[in-house]
Amino acid sequence: MTKHAAIHRRDGALHVEGVSAASLVASHGTPLFVYSRAALMSAWDAWMAGIAASNRGVNGPEVKVHVAVKANSNLGVLSVFARLGAGFDIVSGGELRRVLAAGGKAADVVFSGVGKSVEEIREALVAGVKCFNVESIPELSRLDDIAGSLGMKAPVALRINPDVDANTHAYNTTGKKGNKFGIDYGDAREAYAAAASMAHLDVCGVDCHIGSGITDTAPFIAAVDRVLDLVDILESNGIPIAHIDLGGGLGIDYGDGATPPPTPEFVKTILDHVDKRGPRPVWFEPGRSLTAAAGLLLSKVEYLKPGPAGGKNFCIIDAAMNDLARPTVYGAFHRIEAVEERVGDTEVYDVVGPVCESGDWLGRARELNVKVGDLLAVRDTGAYSFVMSSNYNTRPRAAEIIVDGESVHVVRKRETVEQLLSMETVLP
């Protein structure tokens, strides 16, 4: 790789590491998700730097980073982190299988999620996952029954809802009273007493997760304090707690004006705050902060549709809400730029796709200098992007590739309409 950033411009042309975005499209078509291996590794290194800079250094209690598979579950991406020694945070049996297929170890897997099925729990127990983050007393009972039927003890942490406002989108807020996630803080002692009484459970931790895309450290600190207060109460009642799991949720700078603290600073701040109350093992479950900035969605301009006087102009591209749902679902902002810079005047466009929905937009009021056939790059699409894509309007899902220096690896082939139809039959 050159001395430039992983995703950069060279003579005005967008490059991913040592490969031009235009050449990627020439070989692999559009829409196309592109990830930089160097950017993924750099994001991981930032988490490690924060741990190293904390009071933990290299000799303190364990600090383990578990990659949130839901953010980007591509096997190629997961394999990058598995080789770096990451743990993984999963929310389904399918994600467990992905981790194992990517070279991860079940012993490094934390199983979260509110609706674990009997089959998923059984599979995870047999595989030997590290811990179940349990979200309700009924789940505790189910887990105890299944572990007992297998002659096992299930390691558990209870996900406690600390009622902390993360000040993020309502759909991304997970730690307030009324969210479906976790056990209410006021019910935590009763829930832990129930867990401790079950013969086939091994209570080992406390878990919380307050939201996603958070750009302020203060809500995390508030959640840490609530968790540590609970730990003090539990241990005074004879329930030892081996670790605290502080979840993920750290946001990135999407270019929308919300700027999170640098990852190393954030990690050090959280760990140092924990250590004021006494060092103990800490687990994290980041997703977006590890993968988002490493990704691009490349797309081609199909039409430029001028609006009436005083109305909107539309730049219609071949990527759509089925490829990138975040703008439609969350009103999310992603930077959009031309792959090849062109000198001259710009026009203001809403960047939209061909899907038959007025909600099919990727960017509003963007200044662009483009022509039909030009390529656009939607930035920061390495998290919650391909994983949320669909086949709406019978649109095959995009290919995914990873660039590693000057090498290009297809880590997911482009779907075909024939593949979609092969899963269905007409009536006899």
Residues acting as catalytic residues: 356
Pairing relation of β-strands 375-379 and 295-305?
A: antiparallel
Residue 155, both tokens = 């390691």
Query: Dihedral through CA 408, CA 410, CA 414, CA 419, nearest 10?
Result: 160
Could you tell me if 128 and 177 are in contact, meaning their C-beta atoms sit under 8 angstroms apart? no
Q: What letters, b where the CB count within 10 A reaches 16 and e where it falls short, cover 85-99?
A: ebbbbbbbbebbebb
Q: For residue 389, give the amino acid letter.
A: S
Q: For residue 87, give the amino acid letter.
A: G
Q: What is the DSSP string of 110-145?
A: EE--S---HHHHHHHHHHT-SEEEE-SHHHHHHHHH
Q: What is the SS3 string spanning 175-225?
A: CCCCCCCCEEHHHHHHHHHHHHHCCCEEEEEEECCCECCECCCHHHHHHHH
Q: What is the DSSP letter of 355?
A: S
- CA 374 – CA 339 distance, rounded (Å): 8
Nearest one of 68, 56, 145, 64 to 113, comparing CA atoms: 68
Residue partners of 259: CB distance under 8 A and separation at least 6: 215, 253
- CA 287 – CA 78 distance, rounded (Å): 11
Nearest one of 226, 392, 372, 255 to 322, comparing CA atoms: 392
Q: What is the DSSP letter of 173?
A: B
Could you tell me if 376 and 317 are in contact, meaning their C-beta atoms sit under 8 angstroms apart? yes
Could you tell me if 228 and 244 are in contact, meaning their C-beta atoms sit under 8 angstroms apart? yes
Helices (H), 54-127: 75-83, 93-101, 118-127
